[in-house]
Amino acid sequence: MAFVTSPRRALRDVFPYQPGKSIASVQRELGLKVVVKLASNENPLGPSPRAAAAYRRLDKRCALYPEGASPELRSALARFHKLDPESVIVGNGSDEIIRLLCEAFVEPEDEVVVSQHGFIRFKQQAAMMGARVIEVPMTDWTHDLELMAKAASPRTKLVFVANPNNPTGTYNTADEVEALLKAVPKTALVVLDEAYWHYAQTIPGYPKSLPDMVREHENLVVMRTFSKAYGLAGLRVGYGVGDPELIGWLDRIRMPFNVSLPAQVACVEALKDSAFVKRAVAMNETQRAHVARVLGGLGFGFGDSATNFLFARSPIPGRELFKALLRQGVIVRPLDEYGLPQHVRISIGAPAQNKALIKALQQVLAVPA
């Protein structure tokens, strides 16, 4: 039977997001028992124990629909950031906030400014709306916010800045972000995606976006996620913070029950688990330094990372390395979809996972252990 209708024109050039390969799929495909995943920047310590305990306590309440606007989590986030609940929207991952921003503000032919090797979901989502995506070159693998400001015009609706950026691991300073906010037309919303905030926030010069910058700039939206430092990627919760009127538009068009009840409850508890987050960030720092030293010795090239992953130029093409490591039971992320065939992104694991990575790399690159 032939398919009877046609999708929207804008969708014809849109390619689906390629997530990191899952452990289960590698086990199935290669018949391996032990597989280490270092491909999606998840938390190798697992979930926040407080969040996991709250999730387990839910039982009977799962028969009922959750409250649609996640009011308890929204209030908890507002207290956490010293802002009003009306400034916060909770989403099915920060991915949903990206989608809502595009659906709420981008008409076909509007412009959306992104960075050349910025997080790929921004341009995918903008393209789905039929927007003109303006891709601005990076400088030293870092967003060039001056150039991005120059690229913005009165037709620009959104300027997406992942800070720090995935996949390059670099960050922009508060001064650079302030200058961008001042330089873009007031009708352009600047979206700061701070998915890796916990790993970067102590770096001198890194922006204090919440609550300070959001209070000062009505054209700023900040996004954060529970998927990284809180260890809750599987629950799918992220949030956006900005001017209440802007947030109101996103709230109006979100799915009626966009965040599940267990996810809402667990995230309220996760916010209280600062001890866990501290442990995760500390382990990441020591392990990242260790993995970087070893990778450097194996011929990889890279700069500093402000995140829980390393962005590395591989001694062999990235996809070849990816495939060879898969056969050793280690999943990393090739970056050809970012136009970077020689690079890979490697999440920092717990010590045992990193040891497995290093052993597999030595095998693949035929280096004596």
Ligand X SMILES: Cc1ncc(COP(=O)(O)O)c(C=O)c1O
List residues binding ligand X (CB under 6 A).
41, 93-95, 119, 162, 166, 193, 195, 225, 227, 233, 238
Query: Quick one: 20 or 317, whose CB is closer to ligand X?
Result: 20
Tokens 């136009």 sit at which residue? 339
Tokens 């701070």 sit at which residue? 194
Q: Quick one: which of 185, 147, 181, 144 has its CA closest to 165?
A: 144
Query: Quick one: 305 or 328, whose CB is closer to ligand X?
Result: 305
Query: Quick one: 94 or 264, whose CB is closer to ligand X?
Result: 94
Minimum separation from the CB atom of position 115 to ligand X (A): 11
Minimum separation from the CB atom of position 307 to ligand X (A): 8
**205 class by beta-carbon count within 10 Å (0-12 exposed, 13-18 middle, 19+ buried):** exposed
Give the CA count within 13 Å in the CB-facing half-sphere of 75.
4
Query: Quick one: 176 or 194, whose CB is closer to ligand X?
Result: 194
Query: Quick one: 17 or 61, whose CB is closer to ligand X?
Result: 17
Query: Quick one: 197 or 302, whose CB is closer to ligand X?
Result: 197
Residue 22 DSSP one-character state: P
Asked if 348 contacts 287 with a C-beta cutoff of 8 angstroms, the reply is yes
Helix (H, G, I), strand (E, B) or coil at 86: helix
Minimum separation from the CB atom of position 75 to ligand X (A): 20
Minimum separation from the CB atom of position 165 to ligand X (A): 7
Residue closest to ligand X (Cβ): 93
Helix (H, G, I), strand (E, B) or coil at 329: coil
Minimum separation from the CB atom of position 348 to ligand X (A): 14
CA distance from start to end of the chain: 57
CA distances from 120 to 14, 71, 199, 206, 343 (A): 11, 30, 21, 22, 15
